[in-house]
Chains A and B, each alone.
Chain A
Amino acid sequence: MSQIKTDPEMESQLKIGFIGAGNMAYGIAKGILSGDVLPANMKVSAPSSRNLGRFQELGIAVTHSNPELVCSSDVVFVAVKPHLVPLVLNEVSQHITQRHIIVSVAAGVTLATLEDLLPFNSAVLRLMPNLPCLVQEGALLFSRGSHAKPEDGALLRSLLHRCGLVEEGPEAWIDIHTGLSGSGVAFVYLFAEALAEGAVKMGMPSALAHSIASQTVLGAGRLLRDSGKHPSQLRSEVCTPGGTTIYGLHTLEQGGVRAATMSAVESATERARELGQKSAGVGCKK
């Protein structure tokens, strides 16, 4: 972990802008607001007003002009759909200066592509969040571009730390993170649904089963994160000899759940890599 200190006062003076007003932008904005940044220092731009309401409720200024947003921001989050990234960056590129830090949240858009679309020497970082950023329990991995300094990474980490777990890594890990944690959230939802259905099969009403299933996942997750123990250790601790859990686990093992889960992360990661290569081909040069 980087030991570079960031200055909270400086941070509170920073202007943060979001191009795109979708769920990711919203979740990240909320997380940043729980820190030292004031709503007055934040702005979001989107072509339509559809998604801007919830930002306004937080006290964040809104605009329909991407260039205006860039000019009034120091840190710019590019939070549009991947296929819109080249369009947006072409639009604002001339307004990017040395003071700017550009953070792309677009899945599959590589640092090379981003740097090609922006002025030379631009400080670019690539961030892969996940859905639970919405409730400040995200898992976020970022990677620095060729001209983003360690201090830029430390600044981003500091801005985002209330969004959840924030880690830095080489760009190669971002696709893996996508498979593990971006898509991983959906794998957990699938598992939760199946848990509930098992309970319904055994006679519990559906609503109650779902509510208990989600709390089970949440509770187990909290324990896993906060105990610092290896998951296999925690699993063993739940299994009393000859008890219910070991019987259930045996059935899971017979179903090959572990291998299937490993394969799921693998498939999602490989798809992320594929998409990354595709979008690199699509990204148009100036």
Chain B
Amino acid sequence: MSVGFIGAGQLAHALVRGFTAAGVIATQRITASSPDTDLPTVMGLRKLGVNLTTSNKETVSKSDVLFLAVKPHIIPFVLDEIGPDIEDRHLIVSCAAGVTISSIEKKLQQYRPSPKVMRCMTNTPVVVREGATVYATGTHAEVEDGKLLEQLMASVGYCTEVEEDLIDAVTGLSGSGPAYAFTAVDALADGGVKMGLPRRLAVRLGAQALMGAARMLLDSEQHPGQLKDNVCSPGGATIHALHVMESGGFRSLLINAVEASCIRTRELQFLADQEKISPAAIKKTTLDKVLQQPGVAAAGVGVRSGGISLFSSNSPRTKKN
């Protein structure tokens, strides 16, 4: 089985590092494509032994499982470009936040009757094999396809199938989650430094405390509220600190954060579903490089004067010969 990545940024890099660490696939069987060869992640992937190319079509031809690891607004370009090259064997896995399975299927069905599409939401800790991944299965993907994806993603952390309508909430929680945790550890370390600890030690201890607590919770049958109680001796330091946190609205802040991330994801999806997006939203360099690819016509990627149509079925087809 070969795996391909359209896009060679943070996500592709993290997944490849995780897969290699897990030994679930050999790097020679991985291909990644990106128009921009200067990215640090591109160099990182090259070092890992991944086949790198600037041609998305090449990645498609060399892969069975194809991860779409580009930003959400790039997806339609990519789909128009590779649509003609998709074969029956291909399993398309989109990792783009807010991009629906039906929008991808609609695009690909211009070229193929039953494209196998799946949608997943993962997060960066896949790089250390502690990722949190959910996936939803598209109309034409089989149970075995789900199992295959699950096997891959379970090698780099927790993975489970969900209904697609939950994916935005997952984005808000575990997609963005590591950022919340990094912020928390940074601030905890600040607290430690304020009280006299050297920075490096403070960061180390802060991260370890969070990691240890998470491990305890995952291994325990108990409610986190109960585990919290177990740490709070009467009149002790911890309960005083917790009161301070409650006074600051700690809990509601976290609820708000997850909600904001989820809502923004839905907004992005809504923007994508609208038929128009301004060309200014696309990095000129990226667009230029895509247009420079052999076999890619401007009309084929739906570029029209005065605006770029995303999921319009009116764009002229480029049939594969």
Q: Which among B246, B255, B256 is the interface contact of A258 at CB below 8 angstroms?
A: B246
How distant is the Cα of A279 from the Cα of B202 in the complex, in angstroms? 47
Distance from A167 Cβ to chain B, minimum over Cβ atoms (Å): 14
Distance from A268 Cβ to chain B, minimum over Cβ atoms (Å): 15
Q: Is the beta-carbon distance between A262 and B252 smaller than 8 angstroms?
A: no
Q: Which residue of A lies closest to B224 (CB)?
A: A232
How distant is the Cα of A230 from the Cα of B246 in the complex, in angstroms? 19
How distant is the Cα of A256 from the Cα of B244 in the complex, in angstroms? 11
B214-253 with Cβ < 8 A to chain A: 222-226, 229, 243, 246-249, 251-252
Q: Which residue of B lies closest to A250 (CB)?
A: B255
Distance from B85 Cβ to chain A, minimum over Cβ atoms (Å): 40
| A263 within 8 Å of B (CB atoms) | yes
Q: Which among B225, B247, B252 is the interface contact of A250 at CB below 8 angstroms?
A: B252
Q: Which among A231, A254, A259 is the interface contact of B243 at CB below 8 angstroms?
A: A259
Given contacts A230-B229, A250-B252, A250-B255, contact A256 B223 (CB under 8 A): no
Residues of A contacting B243 in the complex (Cβ-Cβ under 8 angstroms): 259, 262-263, 266
Give A210-241 as 1s and 0s: 1 = Cβ < 8 Å from B's Cβ atoms. 00000000000000000000111101100000
Distance from A272 Cβ to chain B, minimum over Cβ atoms (Å): 15
Distance from A249 Cβ to chain B, minimum over Cβ atoms (Å): 8
Given contacts A259-B243, A259-B246, contact A230 B251 (CB under 8 A): no
Interface majority SS (helix, strand, loop, mixed), chain A: helix
| A9 within 8 Å of B (CB atoms) | no
How distant is the Cα of A275 from the Cα of B248 in the complex, in angstroms? 30
Q: Which residue of B lies closest to A256 (CB)?
A: B249
Category for how many chain B residues contact A: 10 to 19
Give B258-295 as 1s and 0s: 1 = Cβ < 8 Å from A's Cβ atoms. 01000000000000000000000000000000000000
| A253 within 8 Å of B (CB atoms) | yes
Q: Is the beta-carbon distance between B225 and A256 smaller than 8 angstroms?
A: no
Q: Is the beta-carbon distance between B225 and A230 smaller than 8 angstroms?
A: yes
How distant is the Cα of A233 from the Cα of B225 in the complex, in angstroms? 7
Q: Is the beta-carbon distance between B225 and A258 smaller than 8 angstroms?
A: no
Q: Which residue of B lies closest to A258 (CB)?
A: B246
How distant is the Cα of A87 from the Cα of B243 in the complex, in angstroms? 42
How distant is the Cα of A132 from the Cα of B252 in the complex, in angstroms? 33
Distance from A263 Cβ to chain B, minimum over Cβ atoms (Å): 7
Residues of A contacting B252 in the complex (Cβ-Cβ under 8 angstroms): 250, 253-254, 256
Give A175-197 as 1s and 0s: 1 = Cβ < 8 Å from B's Cβ atoms. 00000000000000000000000
Q: Is the beta-carbon distance between A258 and B251 smaller than 8 angstroms?
A: yes
Residues of B contacting A232 in the complex (Cβ-Cβ under 8 angstroms): 223-226
Distance from A231 Cβ to chain B, minimum over Cβ atoms (Å): 7
Residues of A contacting B224 in the complex (Cβ-Cβ under 8 angstroms): 232
Distance from A205 Cβ to chain B, minimum over Cβ atoms (Å): 32
27 A/B residue pairs, CB under 8 Å, sorted by A: A230-B225, A230-B226, A230-B229, A231-B225, A232-B223, A232-B225, A232-B226, A233-B225, A236-B223, A250-B259, A253-B249, A253-B252, A253-B255, A254-B249, A254-B255, A254-B256, A256-B246, A256-B252, A258-B246, A258-B251, A259-B243, A259-B246, A259-B247, A259-B248, A259-B249, A262-B243, A263-B243
Question: Closest 10 CB pairs between A and B?
Answer: A232-B225, A259-B246, A253-B252, A259-B247, A254-B252, A233-B223, A230-B226, A258-B246, A253-B251, A232-B223
